[in-house]
Structures are given as structure tokens and as C-alpha cells.
Amino acid sequence: MKVVGLFGGIGGFELGLRGAGHQTVLTCECWAPAVAVLAARLDGVPNHPDIRELADLPEDAELVCGGFPCHDLSQAGKTTGIDGARSGLVDEVFRLLRRRIGVGRPVPWVLLENVSFMLHLEGGRAMERLVHAFEDMGYRWAYRVVNSLGWLPQRRERVFFLASRVADPADVLLGDEAEPKSAETAIGKIAHGFYWTEGIRGLGWAPDAVPTLKNGSSVGIPAPPAILMLDGRVVK
């Protein structure tokens, strides 16, 4: 499929999809360091710097993917909610999809990703926003929570939301099932990873695993990853 990567970041979706045989034809990313990584990883693929100014999607787009900003939905942030200035940018995805529908060339598949806390914040209002928007546009949808512990020693749960106008997305997203096995907490026997968020609380606790890596702090307070060692020392 021809893929458009919105909120492209450093190209995680795009690299994975390329490995499965798909081709990225456009990315949209505003952060200069991430744009540089995209250019290196996706040589020759054009990038648009601002989704708010992206007028339309390519006519041949078959899959739109993106991890829309989590700043207002994450437990590590200020939990403003789906109406927050950053997470609310998902509305730009809806705008672009509706434009394709309006000209008779709807995008068949859409894959979105965000933090699992969005399922609980404000009683699940963020998921409600997604569901209503996609159903109004004639899409079927499915979602699941995937834990990165299935692939590497880091506990990081994310919601994957797949929508389609041409098939049942549950056949793709729910095609198999496997639960990653996490070690039991055993202080003094194994190391444990976590990170401080905004300098006020620790999150991401995982026995025998590295903590989540963060690229910054919304209030300017360092939020370093940390490891609780066997002897009780905390290494940041």
C-alpha cells in the first residue's frame, strides 16, 4: 500500500510498514531533529512540516498512519485531555480524511497510536472522539493495547486503533494473541526500571527491564530514566 505518515516522528511506523512491503509516499513532521532522522531513514520521501497547513493527502494514499501527540493524554503529562492543544491535533487527521471522502477518493485504511491512559482519562473521552469521527466517515474500527515487552525489555503499553472502509479491521488487528511475560518485582534480586516524570512521581515501573526513554519535559524539569539496582542505588 501507499502510506502517508502523519506525526511521523523518527519513522517507526514507516520503517515497520516498509519491512512488510508497503511504501511511504509522504510524511508530516515538524520537529527538526526528527525530520533529519526521517530524511536519513526514508531517503527521497517528501516531508510536510505542519499538519495544520497540509491541504490534502496524496490521491493514491491507501493507508494513513500516525501516533498523534500524547502530551495531553499521557499520565506523565498534565492530562488536559483530547481537547488539549497538542493531542487535539488528531482533528487534523479527520479533516484530511474527510477531504478525501469529499472528492470521492476516501483513504481505505487508517492506523493511529497513542498511550493506553487515553482509555481511562475523562472516562475514555478520547476513544469516544475517535469512534464517533470514524463511524461518521463510514469506517469500521477495532483497537487493542500492545505491550512493547513482547519485543524488548521495556514495559510500554500503547493503543493501536485501526479503521477501514473496505474490510473488517478486527481481522487484522485481532488476528493473533500473545501476552508478554513480565518478571515479578523482586527488589534486591533483580534491577528495576522506572522514570521520574516532571520531577514529581515515578512511572513505567518494570522488573528486569529498562525504563521508558523520554526526550524532554513539558515544564522544563528533567525527567531522567532510572534503574533501581540490587544494592538499593538509583542510577539515572
Positions marked active-site: 70
- The type of residue at 196 is W
Query: Of the candidates 4, 57, 16, which has an alpha carbon nearest to the alpha carbon of residue 158?
Result: 16
In sequence order, what are the residues at sequence separation of 6 or more whose Cβ sits closer than 8 angstroms to the Cβ of residue 160?
Answer: 111, 112, 113, 143, 144, 145, 146, 173
Contact call for residues 56 and 96 (beta carbons, < 8 A): yes
